Amino acid sequence: MIFVPVAGVSCAATAPALLQSSGKGCLSEGGRQGCTPGRALSSASWITITPDGRNVYVGAEASGAINIYQRVGPFGGLIQPDGSAGCLSESALEGCGSARALTGARPVAVSPDGRSVYVGALNGVAVFLRDRGSGALVQLPGPAGCVENGAAEGCGAARGFAKGSVRGLAVSADGRFVYAAVRFTSVVAVFARDPNSGAISQLPGGAGCISETRRPGCAWGRGLHGSRDVVLSPDQRFVYIASEDGNSVAVFARNRRTGTLIQLRGRSGCLQQRGNDGCTPVRAFLSPHQLALSRNGLDAYVASDHSAAVDVLRRDPGNGTLHQLAGRAGCVEDGGGEGCTPGSALGAAHSIAVAPSGLVYVAGNSANSVAIFAVDSRTAGLRERGCIASRGPPECARAFGLMGVHSITLSSDGRTLYAASERGDAIVVLTVG
């Protein structure tokens, strides 16, 4: 059993601060970066917290594994149980249990009732039943346990996944539908979910598969080239897809009864760096990796990798449209290019999280950092308030384990931030102080 402690020595000098424990506050494959040794964490790519706050799950791409942690104590320390209770993998490596369809495991999504866990992988989605007491996972038997292109590995059949690499997953608030963003096929796939078993089945025809590449059996959509992240609006009426290779975000209206998606017409249907494909033009939008909405749903923040930026968009809750704020308020970019507010610690911005307090956290993959922003009450733009990093910009406080930080998530109370670092093969626990 492996324990990751938290709370203790401050590693940040500016307020609000991120703090890492004197006990290292990180876990890594082989104990790299000065962290506690862990298992099945090669290319740790995604980290998520369950709705009940009891567990943290980590998708590790190179390990082909889903890692299981129990949260303990007031600051969210992590315990990984021994054996299969602590991890499942395609090859049952490092004492993990065996599971299907986990090659290239990345995003993890948990149903609102906490009973189901979904893991996106290279060719599809793996489906697990969760023990809400311990957090242990059991894959559903037979075809119900996974969906893959061509029904490989005894999985159920799905369209639009062949070597596509699922990069984003979301479950609707009512637990009836699952949405997957598939990068290399430029697809957003739509599944109906059985609320009793958690099994998923793709909707028929174009209702179940929308693609920019006009794939057979799929509907056509714009702004989906390299689909990477999928986010539902608070009222569940709209879906937003961040697309890495198209430098775009696609906007869809959602039927809450059937789960189907219809892209908004004209320029309202997508935002794009140069306004191609009939999309609304935006700045500092090269390679958007992840999108997050403010708690009131009125603002959207986009982490843009190649722009080394976080973009600030105003959202109309009535019609779902997005519009970038004017001038410097519309983006923060390393160095302040494209008319943005100058920022730091945003190199290869990959992931973004919004706290209940309104603070915005952005992970810089090449900067090996997490930057902290507050909302400017006058302009609605973002003001950088500090950063924490491993071998990152000199102005940042220092932390263990953030080399190549790829994904971040916050506890529901905003007191603990968790990071998955793909180059460091690590997970990191930081407290907000």
Q: Is residue 189 part of a domain?
A: no
Q: Is the peptide bond before 216 cis (omega within 30 degrees of 0)?
A: no
Whether the per-residue pLDDT at 229 is higher than 60: the answer is yes
Contact 308, 364 (CB under 8 A): yes
Whether the per-residue pLDDT at 9 is higher than 60: the answer is no
Q: What is the pLDDT of residues 125-180, one digit of tens each?
A: 999 999 999 999 999 999 999 999 877 789 999 999 988 899 999 999 999 999 99
Q: What is the pLDDT of residues 386-396, one digit of tens each?
A: 999 998 788 89
Residue 419's alpha-carbon distances to 12, 20, 239, 406, in angstroms, are 16, 12, 25, 7
Give 111's pLDDT tier (boundaries 50, 70, 90).
very high
Whether the per-residue pLDDT at 3 is higher than 60: the answer is no
Give 85's pLDDT tier (boundaries 50, 70, 90).
very high
Average pLDDT, stretch 221-249?
A: 98
Q: Is residue 206 part of a domain?
A: no
Q: Is residue 285 part of a domain?
A: yes
Q: Report the pLDDT value the prediction gives residue 17, as an integer from 0 to 100.
A: 76
Q: Is residue 330 part of a domain?
A: yes
Whether the per-residue pLDDT at 253 is higher than 90: the answer is yes
Q: Report the pLDDT value the prediction gives residue 259, as an integer from 0 to 100.
A: 98
Give 13's pLDDT tier (boundaries 50, 70, 90).
very low
Q: Report the pLDDT value the prediction gives residue 373, as an integer from 0 to 100.
A: 97
Q: Report the pLDDT value the prediction gives residue 22, as an integer from 0 to 100.
A: 56
Q: Is residue 183 part of a domain?
A: no
Q: Report the pLDDT value the prediction gives residue 18, as an integer from 0 to 100.
A: 87
Whether the per-residue pLDDT at 93 is higher than 70: the answer is yes
Q: Report the pLDDT value the prediction gives residue 32, as an integer from 0 to 100.
A: 84
Q: Is residue 167 part of a domain?
A: no
Q: Is residue 177 part of a domain?
A: no
Residue span of the structural domain in which 74 resides: 2-154+226-432
Q: Report the pLDDT value the prediction gives residue 16, as an integer from 0 to 100.
A: 63
Q: What is the pLDDT of residues 33-54, one digit of tens each?
A: 889 899 999 999 999 999 999 9
The CATH number covering residue 74 comes to 2.120.10.30
Q: State how many domains the chain has.
A: 1
* Angle at alpha carbon of residue 240, lines to 239 and 244, rounded to 5°: 150
Q: Report the pLDDT value the prediction gives residue 331, as an integer from 0 to 100.
A: 98
Q: Report the pLDDT value the prediction gives residue 23, as an integer from 0 to 100.
A: 58
Q: Is residue 257 part of a domain?
A: yes
Q: What is the pLDDT of residues 274-328, one digit of tens each?
A: 999 899 999 999 999 999 999 999 999 999 999 999 999 999 999 999 999 999 9
